[in-house]
Structure 1
């Protein structure tokens, strides 16, 4: 089975929704007797011009994002976010080592470093990754390039820069490569610095400033049958504001190493990978835009191994066997504040020697059954074990007796909760069984139908299961939802089990002048990890400043949605160039089965229309995005409703030999809008509590210029 080319993400229009819910297509019909299979990846075009977060490029493949920090937004697939989306960076499964998930996997790589990427949403092959129910995002910077001579010499390099006016953002990317016909060495670096951005009313959106840098050094060696790649990484984020969290990031320092080995045999291929990633993470306060005094620290390590062996059964079929091992360790503690009666004299130990260990085996069969039908099916079995050691509160509560009944109650509750937690069973094991069936049927040369079924599972993360603090202060430090509520863990949580069905019909014009693709999907989730209200609290005593304390719990939930993609070639001439129109409409719904209450952070109906022109060395684009009002909200989390809005963006790009220049205006008409997936602004509340918990607003008009020079 041949994987014969890559397709630019600009032209992806959801040909295989069951494999990736509309973003990847493994089948293209060449003629009635010759059917070739293609694995489609997103591949960056003029990639060095892209700087900062990879959010923009993944957005083209249907990924939404829950607002967090400037480089740490959390991806959402089919209405599911957080750990329900499995994210691989260069094949490594990195864990967000933070009670607020401030350092998610995508924050460890900059867009200019990404060589290829793909999104597998909904129904995915078992080989794509386990321990998820939403899908898989994979970004890859490892792409060794070799020269044609045996001498190790200069190969290529680049320098890229970008400026954005809305946040005075400055971004820089650099890369350099030396190579021979058997050796390749590559360095890539990225630097970002931005102030807090302004909204459409010209007001500063407080606490959205950040600074970050990422570095990678990759070495590769090959011969005719095998290749070994070793990559070293380093990240430093000295600060990053999180407007919708009670805390900010005051440091994130990480080091990583990846070793990949591939060898081809006469009728098989072996792939192996070893990953190591270590991070030291700190939360606190660094800006006058959101003040406070409370340090929180996290040390964590990810170690994993992956082994895959693909066996060719015949010219049309293959069997992929795999074994994977993941070991995640974390310590999370909040240092005592000297002289503080409330936060001392002990360190608050939130997670002590936490461990999450996964061992997985899978088998996947793939076959081109005939010139019309392609099939992929597989089974994955995974054992997930979680453990933590004993914890402790700031104090035993007795020292608070003279500070009033409220302080005594909350502190004593934490002391009692720590005692109960330490006496409980803290060793849990889940067995996950994933199964998928994917089929693509080519009806005619111009029509295809894709169907997919999957059972997928995800075990609780350590914070969902082991966050033991029950006081207002302790519980509000937990949660990656940006809703200002507090969360208490539940050691008795079950793993989530999702059953998904997906179907896509695609039709292409005989002359390729247009293409239409329609996708529908439905997911039923048993033991969905949601949260129920324990009590409420009100730190400001105003009618609009009430929040809830919730505890993670298992419920059943249902999600479903539809997407329509259209592409149409409008006009082509030497004088006016080639004009292309693209449009898409996406609708997603999600609810709890027990109460019919909407799930949290489900994006409302939205559509995008893009008109592009390619004329000579110039590429011009005008896009219009419309997002409906958000009226279906999660009342348990006190989610805000948001109004509908329209955004217009204009961009132009040109390439002169080695130099690529770009100019764009985002939010051309400076529209004020609130982010439906943005959560609430705690930073704004601290500056002026009379407005209550207002929704985080989006960026106003921005003039952006960028340049990239390759050498």
Structure 2
């Protein structure tokens, strides 16, 4: 087991960290042209104030997050979490390689590295990605910039820093670009360190500390018709606390390569991409805030390619043809603990030589039918193959000891039964999407869509075989303190979704209102049924062991956004009001029980002022009481709360400074999507599994200098 001191000094700087410099990267701004798409693109400006997790950026685009580690929170779209959302980083499909999903795709990129992003909730075009039912999030850091000179020379750079008082968080971001008229070389790096944060009562929320660094080196070359880009990435997380899990991350080391090729042809264009990503991941304990002694290790590798060929059929129509292949390999084992009767003498093999291979082909047609109607229709067919080799428990010769349940299921029998199975599984996924946009008038637009989307089970959902209390507690990314057992007979999820959006704007563009509704029926939704209870010393300490199972489910929601530019003058600047409300519901069809981690009604109101070089804002957020909870997972109810945030930013030439106060009135609240505090329970179980508390007041100061 690694000590805290050892972890803090382990590999703080990698060789790539010696490349320090600067980059002038794009500023982000919203573009809502496509149905349920929030797309951010860039132009040359200094915008690297955002550092650390991409959560702050994506939250503004309507993405909720399930609490996890400081840089590893899991996104939620339309009430669906985790791998139901396809998350692409620079177009690469990276799989969470951990039984607790501690290293999801968004954890591999820092927000200062993001030059553009898009969020497609619900109905996404088939070309955006398959193997998902909730939508697609695509974050991009590849944005080659060239100079007008034929010689390679320094182009631009930046250095950024940020401090947060609530967790003593320190973040630094740097970048540098060399460029000519045909070559571009760009480095970006980020380092973040934070202690455990405090809640609104001033109490430390245990085991929320972390340290992370990300590095990328991108080289691009072009001529008049083609461009080749190669990006190298490296991440090092020496430790990251997970308050709502039984284990913590004590190492995550990854390397990746992305190669993109684009070529313009006479009446079409071609795009190809090759991706490789490798990670070594270790779970354990590193802080007195959550003690323990148990190692868990994971090695994983993603290899994939994507080929796209866009044909211009006419001045108004195109046909996009694509073919993709994804190969994911996973080994997950828990080394024996010397001298432990329960965790030894053998290594516990959870996933042995796990394989998840996908091959897909798609066709997508777009046509601007006339001045009012736009159409996009696509079909995607995908084959998914999964398999694993034989496994073993800590002791192959006798029943494994179980501290919480001395008499009950044992892993020796479970491993024998699992190894006797034919574990080879194949799923065929057929996605269909139809998107229509009708420009009723210059100021009225109606958009609607229909889609059938599919997702095949993950390796952990299908093949997590352990049945005793300890091993099941190690499986699950829900932060609920329960234990989970896999199910080799799971079917793929199939979602049928309808959505509609109506947007009305003023003729003088002083205001606009957008209303969006969506409805999804999911066949074979992967939920979980209770197998048995894990009784604690008190009723409040009770947890359950659950097994993944297929059920039918229904999800639906309403979202309203409004903007009003109500005042403008030379003396007081431009004033704007933004408001939004969103409500989501999800239930199991067989029991009418609410689905897990559905956020209650929430509203947001913001007052924004732009005066010369200053941007100021005052926002108010209200979240309703959460009473619709998943009883199978013993989900906690939460009280309503409201948060007020205040921020100001000024840009003077190449220097941007900002100061903000989040949770200005230091309100105590519990996160509706936060899960339970396992760390607090392990220190004091008198109150059972309490909901994870949110952050108290924080004064955040940031600066970014471009040169």
In which range does the TM-score fall when normalised by the shorter chain? Answer: over 0.9
1:570 and 2:566 matched? yes
Q: Deviations over 1:323-343 (max 9, x none)?
A: 000000000000001111111
Q: Tell me, in whole angstroms, the C-alpha distance in 2 between the residues paired with 1:119 and 1:369.
A: 25
Q: Deviations over 1:637-689 (max 9, x none)?
A: 00000000000000000011111000000000000000000000000001110
Q: Secondary structure at the match of 2:147?
A: coil
Q: Secondary structure at the match of 1:355?
A: strand
Q: Tell me, in whole angstroms, the C-alpha distance in 2 between the residues paired with 1:153 and 1:400.
A: 64
Q: CA deviation at 1:570?
A: 1.1
Q: Deviations over 1:70-106 (max 9, x none)?
A: 0000000000001000000000000000000000000
Matching residue of 1:236? 236
1:6-155 equivalent positions in 2, closer than 5 A:
11=30, 16=34, 19-20=35-36, 23-24=37-38, 40-41=39-40, 43=42, 46-155=46-155
Q: How many residue pairs are counted as aligned between the two chains? A: 682
Aligned CA-pair RMSD: 1.5
Q: CA deviation at 1:41?
A: 3.1
Q: Tell me, in whole angstroms, the C-alpha distance in 1 between the residues paired with 2:650 and 2:245.
A: 40
> 1:521–1:562: 8 Å Cα contact kept in structure 2?
yes
Q: Structure 1 pair 81/399, CA: closer, same or farther in 2 (3 Å)?
A: closer
> 1:47–1:114: 8 Å Cα contact kept in structure 2?
no
1:675-686 equivalent positions in 2, closer than 5 A:
675-686=671-682
Q: Which moved more, 1:42-51 or 1:556-565?
A: 42-51
Q: Secondary structure at the match of 2:178?
A: strand
Matching residue of 1:674? 670
> 1:341–1:399: 8 Å Cα contact kept in structure 2?
no
Matching residue of 1:489? 486
Q: Structure 1 pair 250/613, CA: closer, same or farther in 2 (3 Å)?
A: same
Matching residue of 2:659? 663
> 2:41–2:115: 8 Å Cα contact kept in structure 1?
no
Matching residue of 2:638? 642
Matching residue of 2:16? none
1:467 and 2:473 matched? no
Q: Secondary structure at the match of 2:665?
A: coil
Matching residue of 2:541? 545
Q: Secondary structure at the match of 2:441?
A: coil
Q: Tell me, in whole angstroms, the C-alpha distance in 1 between the residues paired with 2:266 and 2:474.
A: 55
Q: Structure 1 pair 310/300, CA: closer, same or farther in 2 (3 Å)?
A: same
Q: Structure 1 pair 594/8, CA: closer, same or farther in 2 (3 Å)?
A: farther
Matching residue of 1:587? 583
Q: Tell me, in whole angstroms, the C-alpha distance in 2 between the residues paired with 1:109 and 1:578.
A: 34
> 2:478–2:675: 8 Å Cα contact kept in structure 1?
yes
Q: CA deviation at 1:47?
A: 2.8
Q: CA deviation at 1:436?
A: 0.5
> 2:27–2:47: 8 Å Cα contact kept in structure 1?
no
Q: Tell me, in whole angstroms, the C-alpha distance in 2 between the residues paired with 1:648 and 1:179.
A: 44
Matching residue of 2:406? 407
Q: CA deviation at 1:541?
A: 1.1
Q: Tell me, in whole angstroms, the C-alpha distance in 1 between the residues paired with 2:513 and 2:692.
A: 35
Structure 2: unaligned runs, 5 residues or longer = 1-24
Q: Structure 1 pair 651/8, CA: closer, same or farther in 2 (3 Å)?
A: same
Q: Secondary structure at the match of 1:407?
A: coil
TM superposition score normalised by structure 1: 0.94
Structure 1: unaligned runs, 5 residues or longer = 1-5, 25-39
Q: Tell me, in whole angstroms, the C-alpha distance in 1 between the residues paired with 2:407 and 2:568.
A: 75
Matching residue of 1:480? 477
Q: Deviations over 1:403-455 (max 9, x none)?
A: 99943644xx2001000000001100000000000000000111010010000
Q: Secondary structure at the match of 1:557?
A: strand
Q: Deviations over 1:492-512 (max 9, x none)?
A: 000000000000111100000
1:241-320 equivalent positions in 2, closer than 5 A:
241-320=241-320
Q: Tell me, in whole angstroms, the C-alpha distance in 1 between the residues paired with 2:26 and 2:170.
A: 31
Q: Secondary structure at the match of 1:640?
A: coil
Q: Tell me, in whole angstroms, the C-alpha distance in 1 between the residues paired with 2:166 and 2:478.
A: 25
1:429 and 2:426 matched? yes
Q: Structure 1 pair 342/128, CA: closer, same or farther in 2 (3 Å)?
A: same
Q: Deviations over 1:519-550 (max 9, x none)?
A: 00000000000000000012x41121000000
Q: CA deviation at 1:388?
A: 0.2
Q: Tell me, in whole angstroms, the C-alpha distance in 2 between the residues paired with 1:319 and 1:101.
A: 37
1:631 and 2:627 matched? yes
Q: CA deviation at 1:399?
A: 6.9
Matching residue of 1:195? 195
Q: Deviations over 1:292-321 (max 9, x none)?
A: 000000000000000000000000000000
> 1:397–1:408: 8 Å Cα contact kept in structure 2?
no
Q: Tell me, in whole angstroms, the C-alpha distance in 2 between the residues paired with 1:15 and 1:438.
A: 12
Q: Secondary structure at the match of 2:466?
A: coil
- Within the candidate set 612, 616, 620, 2:616 is matched to 620
1:454-533 equivalent positions in 2, closer than 5 A:
454-533=451-530
Q: CA deviation at 1:46?
A: 4.1
> 2:46–2:654: 8 Å Cα contact kept in structure 1?
no
Q: Tell me, in whole angstroms, the C-alpha distance in 1 between the residues paired with 2:519 and 2:377.
A: 19
> 1:15–1:504: 8 Å Cα contact kept in structure 2?
no
Q: Tell me, in whole angstroms, the C-alpha distance in 1 between the residues paired with 2:562 and 2:479.
A: 34
1:359 and 2:367 matched? no
Q: Deviations over 1:347-372 (max 9, x none)?
A: 00000000000000000000000000
Q: Secondary structure at the match of 1:601?
A: coil
Q: Tell me, in whole angstroms, the C-alpha distance in 2 between the residues paired with 1:144 and 1:394.
A: 51
Q: Tell me, in whole angstroms, the C-alpha distance in 2 between the residues paired with 1:404 and 1:661.
A: 54
> 1:15–1:506: 8 Å Cα contact kept in structure 2?
no
1:172 and 2:172 matched? yes
Q: Secondary structure at the match of 2:86?
A: strand
Q: Tell me, in whole angstroms, the C-alpha distance in 2 between the residues paired with 1:105 and 1:671.
A: 32
Q: Tell me, in whole angstroms, the C-alpha distance in 2 between the residues paired with 1:510 and 1:107.
A: 42
Q: Secondary structure at the match of 1:56?
A: helix
Q: Structure 1 pair 225/15, CA: closer, same or farther in 2 (3 Å)?
A: closer
Q: Secondary structure at the match of 1:690?
A: coil
